[in-house]
Amino acid sequence: MESVPRGTVLISGSDAVLLCTSRLNPYLHTKLQRRKAVLAQARKDTPRSFGTSQAIPTRWCGRAYWNSPQEPSRRDIEAAKVTQETRAPRPCVFPQVKVVLQVPSHLSLLGLRGFPICHRFNFSHLVPDKLKDRHMGLQTKSTTGGTPHFTLEGHKFLIFGGSIHYFRVPRAYWRDRLLKLKACGFNTLTTYVPWNLHEPERDKFDFFGNLDLEAFIWMAAELGLWVILRPGPYICSEIDLGGLPSWLLQDRGLNLRTTNKGFVNAVDHYFDHLIPRVNHLQYRRGGPIIAVQVENEYGSYNKDKNYMPYIHQALLQRGIVELLLTSDNEKDMVKGYIKGVLATINMKTFSSNSLSVLKQVQRKKPIMIMEFWVGWFDTWGNHHMVTDAKEIENTVLEFIKAKISFNVYMFHGGTNFGFINGAINFGEHRAVVTSYDYDAVLTEAGDYTEKYYKLRELLGSILATPLPPLPDLVPKAVYPDVKPSFYLPLWDVLEYLNEPVKSNVTINMENLPINHGSGQSYGFVLYETSICSGGYLKVHAQDAAQVFLNETFIGVMNENIQHLNIPKFKGCQLLRILVENQGRVSYSWKIQEQQKGITEFPGINDIPLKDFTIYSLEMKMNFFERLRSATWRPVPERHSGPAFYLGTLRAGPSPKDTFLRLEGWKYGFAFINGHNLGRYWHIGPQRTLYLPGVWLQPEDNEIILFEKMMSGSYIQFTDKPIL
């Protein structure tokens, strides 16, 4: 037995036994090579066989060996075949004949661990459009002596989930990404819901366009996918402030993620608007939502023992009736657990120890990997994170063998368009890059990866029904270089901004009296005041500040550089401090101290500075509309300092996806027809910005770069990302 090669099936008559060994015995190899035949079907129906009678796809049947002194008859061979079209099981009768059939390595591993090589999961009847009469949603079951498992409408069910965030994908591409999720063999979509994008100002809600959550969920149902909703209110997700709106930071006495009255009132108001929008989308009400997550990884925060029960009740009281679950890492599992709610775990590799912790927390419940990290996010100044595709395939295989439900995070990451990226701070503030590619199963632009093909083959091998065909890729283009023709220094733009704020002291972003009292969430703030002497300038600015005298650059300041020497000068001059929010921390207790702008009173030689004019540079769509009436200047050979650069991209009659490459430019943001593509930064690792073709118009398109430091010469394009 041990001399049979790795990845083979030994078939004798109607009995099939799977063997897996490290190498082939030379003697047996020589003997088996004497007789060859093609085998395209294996039938197993004896008590000794591993599983049920199923077809092995013909594409796996590379070659087979006859270990018999007699040649097989034509009738024997025909009886063993099955067409690629039907893959219908047919009897295989080979008396006294042993056949070695080569199959993919992941199937041989299944057999080695006691998994039925020919058993397949059949969930074809458990899809949204076929379950009309609904009584029991997703439930957990445990039988005496059996393995705990999920059921859907009373049938055993495994969740093969993949995360796609609607707010990181252009709406026109939602269907494409969801079709690719389905074609890979997944049956469930998971998505976070970002409070900060849905309520950007107090009591001003946005569930339209790219934030139309209901449309996204209905589209998933239409395509045959179930949905696990993760509504927060905190979601992490490497988004600004973990998805919490920045106006919560106006009151420093408001404790985030606790039962603090101010926070509870804000959450209640948000849930009063969010939950009614998704209630009718729940399984028992005809929709695809089979589970809802309570908060997110609270065990790692754990500031208030009453907080998770409050969120739990807040969901129930507003009509959530489907299965509720929590999500935590191994070390935080106990602290994030709520009695009566399914606990799930997050992990990067299959870990028996981690699963043991989960089992100890909740006995007799099925295991769910809520976040199986198939990659990781990048931060500016670090290298691009990648994970081996074979390692991912093997881990998913381990989940399947153990009949563990899982959710791939991320299946498709998308992009941190605009200013929405978050940051981490474990001793140093590091902003998350614009791309949320995450080394995911699909690329940032929705293209297939090695991980995709491996997971599709694996899931296709254990599902009873054929997978849908692969959707076509979204076409890409390399456009001619664009040389900006005009520019506007920042100082020329100030008159096109909203009315500045006059204040005796500096005001941080969140407390600026703008946006109906909700302050400023993203972008830049420019502080101006008159000074009549140089000296030792002290400023506490978050996150990055540039200091100017009139229009002359003096230096930079940040959390590590809070002092700067202002040279002597005659008379009085205008001190200008341009401060940028590079992304609020999205994880850890530091979310509580994420006010941006100048957050403490500045001074020169310990004398407080006063009488400020404060400009808000949020760079919203209407700002660029106003800039069209500005008097743009011809671009000089080189220009340093913050400025806007204008060029025209000619995309032809059928615009396609592309990537901006900004070699020679230092730091800034790119806008196409008013859409903010996000931040570029010469320190990398990201070198390109994804430009969806659906944001381009036929023929001429307006490109504007806001460059903080030093202009380049050209805007280049490529059809492949450089991350």
Residue by residue, DSSP assigns 218-272 as HHHHHTT-EEEEE--S---TTBGGGG--GGGGGSTT--TTS--HHHHHHHHHHHH
| Strands lying side by side in the sheet with 607-608 | 563-566, 535-538, 603-604, 607-608
pLDDT in tens, 404-453: 999 999 999 999 999 999 999 999 999 999 999 999 999 999 999 999 99
CATH of domain 505-610: 2.60.120.260
pLDDT in tens, 120-159: 899 999 999 999 889 999 999 987 777 899 999 999 999 9
Share of the chain above pLDDT 70, in %: 84
DSSP bridge pairs for 138? 152
Among candidate residues 199, 295, 297, 580, the one labeled active-site is 297
297 part of the active site: yes
Omega before residue 233 within 30° of 0, cis: yes
Q: What is the mean pLDDT of residues 206-233?
A: 99
Omega before residue 608 within 30° of 0, cis: no
Share of the chain above pLDDT 90, in %: 81
Q: How confident is the model at residue 363 (pLDDT cuts 50, 70, 90)?
A: confident
Radius of gyration of the chain (CA): 30
Distance CA 297, CA 461 (A): 33
Domain ranges for the chain: 8-112, 138-412+443-462, 505-610, 621-718
- Total-model pTM: 0.86
Question: DSSP class of residue 432?
Answer: B
Give yes or no for a contact between 596 and 581, defined as CB atoms under 8 angstroms apart: yes
pLDDT in tens, 69-104: 444 455 444 444 433 333 333 333 333 333 334 444
Q: In the numeric block, which tokens belong to residue 435?
A: 């791309």
Q: What is the mean pLDDT of residues 550-562?
A: 94
| Residue spans of beta strands (DSSP E) within 103-255 | 138-141, 149-152, 155-157, 160-164, 188-192, 226-230
Alpha-carbon distances of 718 from 26, 177, 701, rounded to whole Å: 52, 22, 17
Higher pLDDT, 611 or 57: 611
Among candidate residues 199, 295, 322, 371, the one labeled active-site is 371
Right CATH for 621-718 from 1.20.1630.10, 2.60.120.260, 1.20.58.340, 2.60.40.60: 2.60.120.260
Alpha-carbon distances of 376 from 348, 382, 387, 464, rounded to whole Å: 10, 12, 8, 32
Length of the chain (residues)? 723
Higher pLDDT, 50 or 326: 326
Omega before residue 410 within 30° of 0, cis: yes
Q: How confident is the model at residue 172 (pLDDT cuts 50, 70, 90)?
A: very high
Question: DSSP class of residue 441?
Answer: S
Comparing 505-610 with 621-718, is the CATH topology the same? yes
Alpha-carbon distances of 625 from 322, 629, 693, rounded to whole Å: 45, 8, 21
Give yes or no for a contact between 67 and 29, defined as CB atoms under 8 angstroms apart: no
Distance CA 182, CA 174 (A): 12
Q: What is the mean pLDDT of residues 614-635?
A: 96
Q: What is the mean pLDDT of the chain?
A: 87
List, as own/partner pairs, every contact residues 306-313 make where C-beta atoms lie below 8 angstroms and the sequence separation is at least 24, other chains included: 306/259, 307/257, 307/258, 307/259, 308/336, 308/338, 309/338, 310/259, 310/264, 311/233, 311/267, 312/338, 312/341
Q: What is the mean pLDDT of residues 9-26?
A: 32
Higher pLDDT, 317 or 94: 317
Q: How confident is the model at residue 61 (pLDDT cuts 50, 70, 90)?
A: very low
Q: What is the mean pLDDT of residues 583-588?
A: 97
Arch. (CATH architecture) of 138-412+443-462: Alpha-Beta Barrel (3.20)
